Amino acid sequence: MDKKIKVVDARMGRGKSSAAIQYIQDRKDEMRFLYITPYLSEVSRVCESCDLKEPGNTIDEGDDEAPDVEAEQIVPKSVVLKEYLRHSKSVAATHALFYLIDDEALEMIREKHYCLIIDEEINIIEKVGITDKDYYLLKKHLTTTDENGRMIWTDKEYIGKLAWYKRMIESGSIYQEDVCMISVMNPELLKAFDDVFILTYRFEGSKLEAYMQLFGFEHEMYGIEIRDGKRYFVPGRDRAPAEDLGQLIHLEKDAAFNRPGEDTFAMSKNWYKNIEYDDENLAVLRKNMVNFLRRNRSKTARNERMWTCFKNGREKLIPKNGACGKNWVPLNIKATNKYRNCTHLAYMVNRFEDPSIMNFFSKRGIKLDRNSIALSEMIQWIWRSAIRDGNPIYLYVPSYRMRELLYGWMQEIKRGDNNE
């Protein structure tokens, strides 16, 4: 891929998706597009606005431009996507479907000269879940590694319960790091396209930036410009106006309420792992969270509350009477709008990037900013709530470290992006 990746780095509400739709509408007769978004509802909206195809499990009998799949036949969406590519159709699809693009589809993308637009950051690297015993078997008997740390399957005759890992390793995307396995997105998923736009926020210091450095992708920054009520991509950093988010985010400031999170590593993943249910600090934290969500601090309906923590701490924060247990929302939730009614939030997390992923990049001369990553993930979680529609929210962040990161970001937004 000779051209630079276009990174559209702009905060929520700036209209990145609207600018992408405008870009497609202005060029749909001369270019072919693959638009990727986590939301099925957004896939439908883009298809309707831009006359793109949406891969489903069936083909409408009345679609005279449908790929060569028998009408009403139920087939995998990846097969339908491939048929649309074969017929040079512009397509909108989900992140999940994007990861299933195979070598045959990539060759079609190269031949047809597609432009890729990725709305919201994709998962480019993650730790692979595997038991210690299975990892030992893989490492000692079934695999080796190349000079870059990439795992190679050596037992070509193997048939057994580890076949899933065999397929992953043979795809060339699995690396050994310390005593674990790291899955890294195939860079060909970006290289195959003539043009790539990635719509994101807080690119610098992110895992996405590190990934692009790792594989030698050059990039150029783009922002959003509003003209005559329409939004457009423009070269250069985004210059968003100042905004006082303190009018929307009402952050719990009571020192006594926040005291359990004062320690630098309080509420980290290891903290939850090692603390007992009846520990005094945890008991206070549990009581404060429920108090904030449903008793003294707010009068809310059940569907107006949401809270999160690491999975290993979830049961430790639920009182024995089960209060607020059903309001737990996963820490990494992205592809949903179902929590947009929530006005009262508790972020019971002190986020540190997995050391294995930090080490993976560090050994290759690339440094991640763990504070920037933690802040970005917190912002993304918060924006699942009512604030995405411009409505005020009430937020409990007992971790001192995470609260200070949020305070600092809110002050940056209050100053605006127009200052150098």
pTM: 0.89
Residue listed under structure tokens 């992205």: 334
Do residue 70 and residue 198 come from a single domain?
yes
Q: Is residue 160 part of a domain?
A: yes
From the list 402, 379, 404, the residue with the least C-alpha distance to 248 is 379
State residue 300's pLDDT score. 82
What pLDDT was estimated at residue 278? 95
CA distance 291 to 260: 14
Quick one: 301 and 360 in the same domain?
yes
Residue 289 and residue 145 in one domain: no
Do 205 and 280 belong to one domain? Answer: no
Is residue 205 within 8 Å of 376, Cβ to Cβ? no
Answer whether residue 420 is part of any domain. no
In this predicted structure, what is the pLDDT of residue 120?
85
Q: Report how far residue 393's alpha carbon sits from residue 401's, in angstroms, rounded to the nearest whole number.
A: 20
Structural domain boundaries enclosing 145: 127-182
Residue 73 lies in a domain: yes
Residues 177 and 268 in one domain: no
Low-confidence ranges of the chain (pLDDT < 70): 1-2, 57-74, 296-298, 335, 417-420
Are residues 212 and 309 both part of a single domain? no
Would 240 be classed as within a structural domain?
no
Phi and psi for 44 in degrees, rounded to 5? -65, -40
Q: What is the pLDDT of residues 16-52, one digit of tens each?
A: 999 999 999 999 999 999 999 988 888 999 999 999 9
The answer to whether residue 294 is domain-embedded is: yes
Question: Phi/psi at 43 (nearest 5 deg)?
Answer: -55, -45
Same structural domain, 265 and 295: yes
**Domains in the chain: how many in total?**
3
The verdict on 93 and 218 lying in the same domain is yes
Q: Which of 162, 182, 202 is the last residue of a domain?
A: 182
Domain end (from 158, 182, 206): 182
Same domain for 297 and 167: no
Q: What is the DSSP letter of 266?
A: T
Query: Are 154 and 279 in a shared domain?
Result: no
> Are 87 and 48 part of one and the same domain?
yes
Q: What is the CATH number of the domain that holds 86?
A: 3.40.50.300
* Per-residue pLDDT at 176: 93
Residue 22 shares a structural domain with residue 110? yes
Give the whole-angstrom CA distance, residue 35 versus residue 198: 10
Q: Which residues lie closer than 8 Å to 267 by C-beta, 6 or more apart?
A: 260, 261, 285, 309, 313, 348, 349, 350, 398, 399, 402
Interval 378-396: pLDDT, tens = 999 999 999 999 999 999 9
Residue 404 lies in a domain: yes
